[in-house]
Amino acid sequence: MRNLATLLFLGGLVFLLAAITGTLPFGHPPMLVGQAIQQAAKPEVGAANVVTAVVLGYRGLDTLGELAILFAAATAGGLVLGGVQAKGRNNALPAAGFVLRAGTDVLFPLLLIAGLYVVIHGHLTPGGGFQGGVILAAAFFLPLLARPSESLSHIWLSVIEGLAGTAFIALGLGALYNGDAFLTPLFDKGMFGELVSSGSLPLLYLAVGLKVGAELSSLLMRLAHDDGAAS
Partner 1 sequence: MMGVAIIVVALTLGAALAVLLLENLLAAIAAASAVSLGVAVMFVLLQAPDVAMTEAVVGAGLSGLILALALRRLGLARLDVPTSGENTDA
Partner 2 sequence: MSTSVGLVFFIGAIGLCVIGITGIVLSRHLFRMVLALAIAEAGANLLLILAGYRWDAVAPIFTGTAGGQAMVDPVPQAMVLTAIVIGVGVQALALSLVIRIKERYGTLDMQEARQCMQDDLDDAGGVTPSRSRERPAGERPIPAPTVLNSTGGQHD
Query: Residue numbers of the site for partner 2 (CB under 8 A)?
Result: 1, 6, 9-10, 13-14, 17-18, 21, 24, 26-29, 31, 33-34, 37-38, 41-42, 48-51, 53-55, 59, 62-63, 66, 69-70, 72-74, 76-77, 80-81, 125-126, 128, 130, 192-193, 212, 219, 223, 229-230
Nearer to partner 1, 181 or 223 (CB): 223
The DSSP letter of residue 57 is: I
User: How many CA within 13 A on the CB side of residue 44?
Assistant: 14
The secondary structure of residue 48, as a DSSP letter, is S
For the window 28-57, what string marks contact with partner 1 as x by the rule CB under 8 A? ---------------------x-xx-----
Q: Which stretch binds partner 1 (CB under 8 A): 30-38, 62-70, 131-139, 171-179?
A: 131-139
How many degrees, rounded to 5, is the angle at CA 208 between CA 110 and CA 170?
Answer: 135
Nearer to partner 1, 53 or 175 (CB): 53
- Pick 77 or 174: Cβ nearer partner 1: 77
Instruction: Count residues binding partner 1 (CB under 8 A).
Output: 22
Please, how many CA atoms are within 13 Å of residue 79, restricted to the half-sphere of its CB?
6
Given a contact cutoff of 8 angstroms between Cβ atoms, the answer to whether 151 and 144 are in contact is yes
In b/e form, how buried is each residue of 123-140, taking b as 16+ CB within 10 angstroms? bbeebbbbbbbbbbbbbb
